[in-house]
Amino acid sequence: MKEKMKENINLIIKIFIILQPILDFTTGICLHTFHLNITIGMIVRVLFLVWMMYLTVFIYQKKTILKYYGVVFLYSILYLVGVIIYQDKTLIFQEVQGLIRVFYFPLLLLSFYMLKEEIKVEKKTVQTTLVLYLVLIFIPLLLGIGNKSYEITKAGTLGFFNSANEISGIISILTPLLLLEWIEQKHIIKKGILILIYLTVILTIGTKTPLLSLGITTLAIFLFLIIKWIRQKKYQPIIILMMILIGCSTILVIVIPTTNFYKNIKTHLDFLGVENITEVFQEKELIDHFIFSQRLTFWEDKKEIYGKAPIYQKLVGIGYHENKEEIKMIEMDYIDIYYSHGILGFILFFACYFVILFKVPKKKSPMTIEKYSYLISIFLILILSFFTGHIITAPAVSIFVVVIILLLENQKNKKKKIIT
């Protein structure tokens, strides 16, 4: 039995990664079409986490990880005690859900990292998964069916997925891998279809984040290739790349005014009573509303609740409710984790995350376009976790954070056979 698990671990992980868009698609169908509050995706993901933890401890005998598992378990008990003492006991199920959502990521990350020599994930698997997400939004868009990205006011289409923030987060942090696939793809028609579907989706989904990620990724990869070709004295590829960028930029400038992205920007400006976008940067309130979607206001509100909390809750967190009412999330992951899970939870979460995150890039390996793309993804993860949230606190998204870190770790073992 143990040998069977060891033989099939990579295949199971590959299947699990590719299943992600199907899980999110099914959850969206259940919620919006059949009005069933069944989070199939969360159930499958939690079962996968339990399986990974079992593999780590009992199959591969990585006993040192038990210390972290144990500390997380102890913290969870202290957190729930705080819920029982300071909150309504009927809310304990929702609080447990919040606890699992947040600590899903560090537990999965550490489990993957402990088995980094055994787990080999190929970038093609992740790229295929991203394409599935894009296609499952693109096809309903063509058919004129599916869910809206926003319930009121703003425009946007999301296929049959449920959360615009999570789906746009996935697309955003995986954008460097998609552009890597585009660069490596030799077939011109496939290149065209891939970029057409991608651009159509990010411009119709209605959120700002994927377009921001595209801009950052394009600029970073452009600089990398330009520097590389100048050193190699290859000037023809530079000219071709410049022509492609100018062509794509021209098309975007023409197309963007017809998209949901542009409509949402205009709607937001009209709501604020602003005629010129430069006026937004003249007042703090306008910056908060337009740039941060009132996250700074939510930050102040949550900070006030935390400030009034007893010492015990400051240590273990105020949770997700106050006086039976749900506390509005700031949607800035680092800050939300601090207030919701206190000083202890914050330290426990990031002690695992940042130690692994900053340890991986130190591994010696050549700076290829592939490795560079993973580093861009890591950069996007770090900034989007702060500015838009739903990256390391949403299991549907944080799974891909774990995979990207593992892909970067695997760069030093390129000679070893990896799953395709």
On average, the pLDDT of the chain sits at 89
- Report in angstroms the alpha-carbon separations of 227 from 218, 220, 222, 246: 14, 11, 9, 19
pLDDT (average), residues 136-153: 81
Highest mean pLDDT among 138-152, 279-293, 345-359: 345-359
CA distance 96 to 93: 5
Q: Does residue 289 belong to any structural domain of this protein?
A: no
Q: Does residue 310 belong to any structural domain of this protein?
A: yes
Q: Does residue 281 belong to any structural domain of this protein?
A: no
Q: What is the pLDDT of residues 54-70, one digit of tens each?
A: 999 999 999 999 999 99
Place of tokens 């492609």: 244
Residue 232 structure tokens: 């190699």
CA distance 225 to 376: 14
Q: In this predicted structure, what is the pLDDT of residue 416?
A: 45
Q: Does residue 16 belong to any structural domain of this protein?
A: yes
Q: Does residue 87 belong to any structural domain of this protein?
A: yes
Beta bridge partners of 326: 321
- Asked if pLDDT for residue 185 goes beyond 50, the answer is yes
What is the domain extent for residue 64? 2-258+294-413
- Report in angstroms the alpha-carbon separations of 25 from 84, 124, 151, 210: 35, 21, 18, 19
Domain count, the chain: 1
Number of other residues whose CB lies within 10 A of the CB of residue 281: 11
Least confident range of 20-34, 149-163, 291-305, 382-396: 149-163
Which of residues 409 and 313 earns the better pLDDT score? 313
Q: What is the pLDDT of residues 65-123, one digit of tens each?
A: 999 999 999 999 999 999 999 998 888 999 999 999 999 999 999 999 999 999 999 99
Q: In this predicted structure, what is the pLDDT of residue 152?
A: 60
Residue 350 structure tokens: 């990031």
Q: What is the pLDDT of residues 249-305, one digit of tens each?
A: 888 888 888 888 888 888 888 878 877 777 777 788 888 888 888 999 999 999 999
Helix axis angle for 333-359 and 295-308, nearest 10°, is: 100
Amino acid at residue number 209: T
Residue 198 structure tokens: 């991608």
Q: In this predicted structure, what is the pLDDT of residue 148?
A: 77
Q: Does residue 331 belong to any structural domain of this protein?
A: yes
Q: In this predicted structure, what is the pLDDT of residue 218?
A: 93
Q: Does residue 268 belong to any structural domain of this protein?
A: no
Which of residues 242 and 361 earns the better pLDDT score? 242
Q: Does residue 267 belong to any structural domain of this protein?
A: no
Pairing of strands 325-326, 321-322: antiparallel
CA distance 36 to 31: 5
CA distance 328 to 321: 9
Q: In this predicted structure, what is the pLDDT of residue 37?
A: 67
- Asked if pLDDT for residue 151 goes beyond 70, the answer is no
